[in-house]
Structure 1
């Protein structure tokens, strides 16, 4: 056999091996997917395009698509209440939600007329209440919002829930505020154009849209007193804690006290256990990659993820976390 012929045979063998390995890898990847992934497409309820929910949801969707060969995408929504309604009705597979709104959802309280069949998959990170005003505003404290035009969050958002509770605790008459009910992107644009005096937002830090706003329009964050946090906890689900915005965030030259609330990834109670296990596998495996785009993802901790009360953990999540301890 000539040298050219031997080379041709060897090349064909190498190509054959490469193709076999590629096919084996593809088969292995697909075989790791639970058979319960039965729908053709899935959605994750995120939030507004300028917020952490949507960014996190988009990255998670891409990771789950690659890991389990399913078609899944993030949906723009009004926020926590909207997300919980969607996951409770089976419209979406997964949703991000504030802990307080999720507690209301399973209890059939607040914005929810009846309990929703929603369960938690993981506690992800804590969100922070932002009350944003322009740096040159004469508004110095929450009481100064009376009589002003301030967005208290979009309708059916978790922001709207917290805004009303905190203003009430601070003895600020919500009825005295003109509220255009804007989402985060609309609030940012309106503040930049001086069409509103301020806006409420609840999200991870840094929230991308607010960080971008601060680069062109200097902002301040109003302080949230510890006593207000205590009062809100006493009246509602005890889901809140006091925290602080660090110096340097959004260009701040001093730390400001605020209120934090945990954020959960939730699903419907009827979601198959195996699918939930797959989601958690993908979520934790991709944590570092997602954090490159969404810094809040780095806060995901397997030891803390199980603390989702009063929202019950999904049975598939319980199985996943127990298996990690073995």
Structure 2
């Protein structure tokens, strides 16, 4: 993928945070940790803000500053290059950055959501041939997962008019008929996806097993309940784990402090609109797949588990 576009607002935010540094001006100031999140309206952004609030309320020596981004791919580049200290990313995207990033934990499950107009003719992925499809914003994890999904269904991405609009813009484009479908990887429900009216989600459950066979065990078959979106039927789709990642030089005590927030304040880290999404289950926090745990995080989990 070519260089990732960053909006002026995001660029200014990154520049301001970079100039601030990881720690404050004096040794008495709390450590300020930059967290690459996602698009406003998505769960990454919501989760990052909740984590920042939990840090402000429950610690005296840690502050978290969310950085709005396009999503997983941009986040991984930022954290791997040291432009931010921590980042959220889909597990399938993170697997390409093994050795360059470390994990603080598996925080929740993203659900692939392929939305079409309810009154349209598209009923399965193969119907996307020749259609205008938004496969996530440029720099998002959905941009990677979307091409894998198409290939698994037997659709050559070259046979689809692929676009990469931000989520809110794509949702409006679906409503206006400017595109025929959009793919989003996020929580259920995602607020920005309530814009297309009427909207229908395609059932992707049958593709979960072949996705696992082709690309590895980062994909699960999960259920989206009926009425998760107004009037929507229950469908199955593909779940992808989300990882909270960090640079290798993040201090061990800072990594441990973030893990303590995940473990002891899990209830405060679930966006209010979440439904049917697996969040911060203690049994799965250490299930980070091919991405090893940060030493400070590993030590914190050992203390927690005894």
Q: TM-score, normalised by structure 2?
A: 0.84
Alignment partner, residue 275 of structure 1: 254
Alignment partner, residue 16 of structure 2: none
User: CA RMSD for the aligned pairs?
Assistant: 2.2
1:325 aligns with 2:305: yes
Alignment partner, residue 212 of structure 2: 233
Q: Structure 2 unaligned runs (5+)?
A: 1-25
Deviation at 1:285, TM superposition (A): 3.1
| Closer, same or farther: CA 221–103 of 1 in aligned 2, 3 Å | same
Deviation at 1:325, TM superposition (A): 2.1
Find the residue that maps to 1:295 and give its secondary structure: coil
Structure 1 CA distance, aligned partners of 2:303 and 2:32? Answer: 28
Structure 1: 4+ residue segments shifted above 6 A: 35-40
Measured against aligned partners, the alpha-carbon deviations of 1:145-199 in whole angstroms (never above 9, x if no partner) come to 1111110112221101111001001111211211221121221121122211110
* Conserved 8 A contact 1:36-1:275: no
In structure 1, which of residues 303, 310, 321 is the aligned counterpart of residue 283 of structure 2?
Answer: 303
Deviation at 1:263, TM superposition (A): 0.8
Deviation at 1:290, TM superposition (A): 3.0
Alignment partner, residue 196 of structure 1: 179
Structure 2 CA distance, aligned partners of 1:51 and 1:37? Answer: 34
* Conserved 8 A contact 1:36-1:272: no
Deviation at 1:298, TM superposition (A): 7.2
Structure 2 CA distance, aligned partners of 1:256 and 1:249? Answer: 10
Match runs of 1:238-257 below 5 Å: 238-257=217-236
Deviation at 1:38, TM superposition (A): 8.0
Structure 2 CA distance, aligned partners of 1:237 and 1:54? Answer: 27
Find the residue that maps to 1:42 and give its secondary structure: strand
* Conserved 8 A contact 2:30-2:60: no
Q: Higher helix share goes to which structure?
A: 1
Alignment partner, residue 213 of structure 1: 195
Q: Structure 1 unaligned runs (5+)?
A: 1-34, 107-115
Segment of structure 1 superposing worse, 292-301 or 272-281? 292-301
Alignment partner, residue 162 of structure 2: 179
1:133 aligns with 2:133: no
Measured against aligned partners, the alpha-carbon deviations of 1:93-130 in whole angstroms (never above 9, x if no partner) come to 21111111111211xxxxxxxxx520111111111110
* Conserved 8 A contact 1:287-1:298: no
Alignment partner, residue 266 of structure 2: 287
Q: TM-score, normalised by structure 1?
A: 0.79
1:45 aligns with 2:36: yes
Q: How many residues align?
A: 279
Find the residue that maps to 1:56 and give its secondary structure: helix
Structure 2 CA distance, aligned partners of 1:281 and 1:144? Answer: 46
* Conserved 8 A contact 2:29-2:61: no
Measured against aligned partners, the alpha-carbon deviations of 1:230-255 in whole angstroms (never above 9, x if no partner) come to 22222223210112211111124432
Segment of structure 1 superposing worse, 188-197 or 156-165? 188-197
Alignment partner, residue 97 of structure 1: 89
Find the residue that maps to 1:306 and give its secondary structure: coil
Alignment partner, residue 3 of structure 2: none
Structure 2 CA distance, aligned partners of 1:303 and 1:267? Answer: 21
* Conserved 8 A contact 2:31-2:61: no
Alignment partner, residue 159 of structure 1: 142
| Closer, same or farther: CA 37–121 of 1 in aligned 2, 3 Å | farther
Alignment partner, residue 61 of structure 1: 52
* Conserved 8 A contact 2:199-2:232: no
